[in-house]
Amino acid sequence: MGPVLVIMFVVLVALIFVSRWCWPLPPQVGTLKTPALLIKGEATVFTVGTFNIHRARGLDGRKDLARVAQVVGACDVTGLQEVEGVTLFHRQSQAERLAKQLQCEAHFSPTRLRAFFPERGNALLSQWSITAWHRQPLVRARLRGKGYRNFTEYTVQVGGQPVVVINTHLSKPEGQDTGLEQIVAAFMRHERAVLMGDFNRPPGHESFARLYDAGVIDALSSEDNQRVDHILVRGFQVLSSWTLPPGPSDHPFFAVRLSL
């Protein structure tokens, strides 16, 4: 084997190794570069949704981002989990592509890099301007090969008023620290805030006790009591809630109407 072939072989092996390895992302803060949309004027009522989109893979096994857009399109603010980032076929994350379809703002919050590209994470879609975001990793070590976790705290201008929205996707409890306490601390710093995402535990789980004791409202309390997706609020009045069954994803979609 000549030296050129040896070099090519070494490079190929290195590329394969890099493509299979993931790195967590550090904390980061920022603002969106897109101009403020302010699609709507003054408002005192707005809708919030949460949806684990399973990388847009439906129960039929097909990936179809258009189906996800149909589900979330009616919401003012939607937290997404299991969002696909950059791939060989798409140079934008699924969140950015959804934003183009829905004519709204989007922020993709990757939890990890693969081959130096943001591969997977959470996201926020908003019909209101996202003026600030703060991404915070929850776990720096991989959890039994399942990857990394984070939460992202946003400031969204709803009808000209700042609203804090926190979006996350937690690992199953299983006796380990999943970072929930870190999220709760961030959430409880605000008098008016929304905390949502896939918590991988039902509403009755003991880890929610501190939140309920502090007067935090389970905005989805009238929905399935075995669900693992949550919208928790403080400083808002919950007007109504609704859900759509799995189909475009393996998770249901949940949404609420809130009053400022």
Encode pLDDT of 90-142 as tens digits: 678 999 999 999 999 999 999 876 555 657 899 999 999 999 999 999 864 45
Sequential DSSP letters for 194-227: EEEEE-SS-TT-GGGHHHHHTT-EETTTTS-TT-
Q: Phi and psi at residue 171, in whole multiples of 5°? A: -80, 165
Q: At what angle do helices 94-102 and 65-72 cross, to 10 degrees?
A: 60
Q: Give the C-alpha distances (Å, rounded to integers) separating 252 from 72, 223, 239, 248.
A: 11, 11, 20, 9
Residue 103 tokens read as 């004519």
Beta carbons within 10 angstroms of residue 13's beta carbon? 10
Q: What gap in Å lies between CA 106 and CA 129, rounded to an integer?
A: 9
Regarding the domain with residue range 24-259, which homologous superfamily does it belong to in the CATH classification? Endonuclease/exonuclease/phosphatase (3.60.10.10)
Instruction: Give me the residue label for tokens 């693969």.
Output: 114
- Would you place residue 13 in the very low, low, confident or very high pLDDT band (cuts 50, 70, 90)? very low
Cα atoms in the 13 Å half-sphere on the side-chain side of 222: 9
Q: How far apart are CA 236 and CA 227, in angstroms?
A: 22
Residue 54 confidence (pLDDT)? 95
* Residue 143: Cβ within 10 Å count: 16
The fraction of the chain above a pLDDT of 70, given in percent, is 78
Mean pLDDT (the chain) is 86
Enter the tokens of residue 79: 């937290």
Alpha carbon distance 186, 189 (integer Å):
6
Taking only the tens place, the pLDDT of each residue in 15-30 is 444 445 566 778 889 9
The dihedral of CA 230, 157, 258, 94: what is its sign? Answer: negative
Q: Where are the domains of the chain?
A: 24-259
Q: Which of 170, 176, 222 is nearest to 199 (CA)?
A: 170
The structure's pTM equals 0.87
